[in-house]
Amino acid sequence: MFLVLFFLLSLGQIGRISLYNQQINFYVYEILAACWFTWLLIKYKLQPILTTFTRFKFIYFWLLFLMFSYLLNIAGYSLFQNIVALLYLLRLTFYFIFFIYLIYEFKQKQNYQNKLDKGILLFILLTIFFSLGQYFLYPDLRNLFYLGWDPHLYRAFGLFLDTSTFAALIGTSILYLLIDFRNIYLGRNFKIVILVLLSILALLTYARGFYIAILVTVAYFLFKQKLFRWMIVLMLIFIIGLYLLPKKFGEGVNLQRTFSINSRAVNYKEGLKIWETSPLIGIGYNRLSYAKEKFRQNQNNSFGDHSLASLNSSFLIILSTAGAVGLGLFILLLFKLTQLGPLAKYLTVFLSLYSLSDNILLQSFVLMFFLLLLLKVSRT
């Protein structure tokens, strides 16, 4: 089951199913996950929730508050808008509850650890294969601009059609290989080859927020391991890598570009304006697309832009949709996750840093991969 789930996850946007002019979207891997969860629910009923409540109560408290915030603001939106927002909330809730049930199943099945390792490796290898093919054969998304996708000219984005999402998945894969290096089914030399390929693809995203997040996290890991010389080596490799990057035409590959910085500044201001309308409990997860419409003028197609239902920071999304209370609970959740083990700590640090400049932690592909990786430390 893990192999199929990771395979479907690796298909990225190819496995996307959209309804109502892209207002409702789901993926084929979510269909499999839902079927798997239904089987676990029938098999164990509520036992996984009852037995793990004390350990993961911070997850339940946060999700319950999101539902409270959603219900409290329900009168201010139409029936259809509330249904779409509820689907976002149900997806987020499902991901975490599915994670809880898989943890419980892990304790019953001793061979699940091996299957999980194989599934993770399958995802990493397929992502490398698809991404290399994309970079050399399909380096331009301008033909999909009319559907709301950014051009990402001459950048690596794989089948996910977004450099930020792709970079986050590459970063988590690198950290997994570094931290769980001895516990996977590959020889040392092959692991190094995979790390090199992942690092090259990481550089080819030209994602500066990602560069900062992964460098800080890896440097932090090396510091904690007292590998101080390797910190210097890491910086030298990164600088050389930047120098060797292809300098092709296009604003996206210009590391000195200011357009994305300016657009993020506007995006942050927009998010803060929405937060000011309900600073304590927010407008309800996830009604961002409708709230943003109130602040945007001359919008020809409200749902043609894939970023309309999002903001350029996962923390800002939580702040605007769940208020200061929801953000506080979310930060507490992340802090508690870091205590699950070394792998969980570094993955959470990396994704949190990257989420300051992009919506990473709440992105579907990233969140599912992140939670599946956390199963590695679920026994401890």
Question: Does 373 have pLDDT greater than 80?
Answer: yes
Question: Does 305 have pLDDT greater than 80?
Answer: no
Burial of residue 148, with CB atoms counted within 10 A of its CB: 0-12 exposed, 13-18 middle, 19 or more buried? middle
**Span 74-111, pLDDT tens digits:** 988 899 999 999 999 999 999 999 999 999 998 877 77
pTM of full prediction above 0.95 = no
Average pLDDT score over residue span 166-194: 85
Percent of the chain with pLDDT over 90: 61
**pLDDT band (50, 70, 90) for residue 267:** confident
Q: Which of 166, 167, 168, 175 is nearest to 217 (CA)?
A: 175
Write down the domain spans for the chain. Answer: 2-377
Q: Considering only residues 190 and 148, tell me which one the structure prediction assigns the higher pLDDT.
A: 190
**First-residue to last-residue Cα distance in the chain:** 23
| Per-residue confidence (pLDDT) for residue 380, from 0 to 100 | 47
| Per-residue confidence (pLDDT) for residue 299, from 0 to 100 | 44
**pLDDT band (50, 70, 90) for residue 145:** low
**Span 9-34, pLDDT tens digits:** 999 999 999 887 777 789 999 999 99
Average pLDDT score over residue span 127-131: 96
Question: Does 251 have pLDDT greater than 80?
Answer: no
Encoded tokens for 303: 């749902």
Percent of the chain with pLDDT over 70: 88
Question: Does 218 have pLDDT greater than 70?
Answer: yes
**pLDDT band (50, 70, 90) for residue 304:** very low
Q: Which of 150, 146, 167, 222 is nearest to 357 (CA)?
A: 167
| Per-residue confidence (pLDDT) for residue 295, from 0 to 100 | 67
Do the beta carbons of residue 99 and residue 374 sit within 8 Å? yes
pLDDT mean across residues, the chain: 88
Using the Cα atoms of residue 371, residue 374, residue 379 and residue 380 in order, give the sign of their dihedral: negative
Average pLDDT score over residue span 47-60: 92
**Span 307-361, pLDDT tens digits:** 556 788 999 999 999 999 999 999 999 999 999 999 999 999 999 999 999 999 9
**pLDDT band (50, 70, 90) for residue 300:** very low
Average pLDDT score over residue span 243-258: 68
Three-class DSSP labels, the chain: CHHHHHHHHHCHHHHEEEECCCCEEEEHHHHHHHHHHHHHHHHHCCHHHHHHCCCCHHHHHHHHHHHHHHHHCHHHCCHHHHHHHHHHHHHHHHHHHHHHHHHHHHHHCCCHHHHHHHHHHHHHHHHHHHHHHHHHHCCCCHHHHHHCCCCCCCCCCHHHCCHHHHHHHHHHHHHHHHHCHHHCCCCHHHHHHHHHHHHHHHHCCCCHHHHHHHHHHHHHHHHHCCCHHHHHHHHHHHHHHHHHCCCCCCHHHCCCCCHHHHHHHHHHHHHHHHHHCCCCCCCCCCCHHHHHHHHCCCCCCCCCCCCCCCCCCHHHHHHHHHHHHHHHHHHHHHHHHHCCCHHHHHHHHHHHHHCCCCCCCCCHHHHHHHHHHHHHHCCC
**pLDDT band (50, 70, 90) for residue 258:** low
Question: Does 70 have pLDDT greater than 60?
Answer: yes
